[in-house]
Amino acid sequence: MNTLNDFNFSGKKALIRVDFNVPMNEQGEVTDDTRLRAAVPTIKKIIKEGGAAILMSHLGRPKNGPEEKFSLKHVLPNLSALLDVDVLFSNDCIGESTKSKADALKSGEVLLIENVRFYKEETAGDRVFAEKLALLGNIYVNDAFGTAHRAHASTTIVADFFNEKCSGFVMQNELDNAKKVLENADRPFTAIMGGAKISDKILIVERLLDVVDHLIIGGGMSYTFFKALGGDVGNSLVEQDKLELARDLISKAKEKGVELHLPKDSIASVEFSNDVETKVVENYAIGEGWMGLDIGPEAAEVFSSIIEKSKTILWNGPMGVFEMSNFSKGTNRIAEAVVTATEAGGFSLIGGGDSAAAVNQLGYGDKVSYVSTGGGALLEYMEGKVLPGVKALG
């Protein structure tokens, strides 16, 4: 697979698939520009070398054609400021008007085209639609790792229409860091898996059992393990159909010499709310009417001690309902431990989604080794799946 550094972009028109699927408020203002900032080095290299950049992305999940709230024009002020360039805009992503704007681009200019998901052909991976997108440039750059696991028109199919194609810096960094963790990890290697459900993480957990020394389980998924071990988890989230799987994963960890760590205690509440009584409970005996919504103080300290002694850390998923302040302490404590380990010379990869949001909210984004923008794509890559968007660049 060619990378950005394999090309000089002087005189080229680069069609770049970026990931500008950013959160916005009701006024259409960007509330987290992480993904915009991530794309800046790729765009800047191209325009500094005398190329022109045509940017395409999706935003949200529009149902039936164009919707104002999903228009990419909302990111223009932020993007122009980050690039220090007046970014041009086309209110369509294909067609004569968009093609004319792309054709007229001069060296150093940037054109953002409208949301590709305003056409249902995008998610269908339609070849005719992909070919129309391909008319806008003469080299294809995919820098949208977060959508590389989707065989959509702009992420995969469009590459068929280019002789010259390569990964951007975001794509390359994501792949390099995932490989570093899976193939070249310094030990001890600790993986931290959180989130609500085991079913979302089965494949990644099974893969990690082949490479890690410690596997820490937190979040809602931990209660399925406790239930499987005969514990009383009260009203905590449990996947009843995954109890045997949980027991199987515990057995596999033992067989492979991996230390599997479950949280000893939880912060529990009588309902899913930030405004009701909480108490610390033992996870084998949470009690009727109570539900665990965060790891408890003892679990947080045990987990932190393991993390702080680790040389490689992969973290995917929060330890509790961190959006609510009463149930954010566990996630915050784990984030602090990851930073401590990183500052001591360890390598830490934060696996996108909620754990990335938590790290960024706490201001630790630049204190860990790498924060993935990938989410689902990173998990699928680590599970050993072939990502269509990566394969298309080969």
Active site residues: 35, 197, 353, 376
Element (H, E) at 312: strand 312-316
Please give the Cα distance from 84 to 358 (Å, whole number). 29
Q: Which residues of 58-77 are buried (b: 16+ CB within 10 A; e: fewer)?
A: bbeebeeeeeeebbbebbbe
- CB count in 10 Å sphere of residue 318: 29
Give the list of residues 6+ apart from residue 386 with CB closer than 8 angstroms, or none: none
| Planar angle of CA 348, 192, 318, nearest 5 degrees | 100
Please give the Cα distance from 204 to 208 (Å, whole number). 6
The closest of 149, 76, 156 to 122, measured between CA atoms, is 156
Give the sign of the dihedral formed by CA 139, CA 389, CA 119, CA 63.
Answer: negative
Residue whose token pair is 């950013």: 22
The pair of structure tokens assigned to 213 is 């020394």
What residue type is assigned to position 311 of the chain? K
The pair of structure tokens assigned to 332 is 């915050």
Please give the Cα distance from 56 to 70 (Å, whole number). 13
Residue whose token pair is 């390569």: 166
The pair of structure tokens assigned to 261 is 């760590």
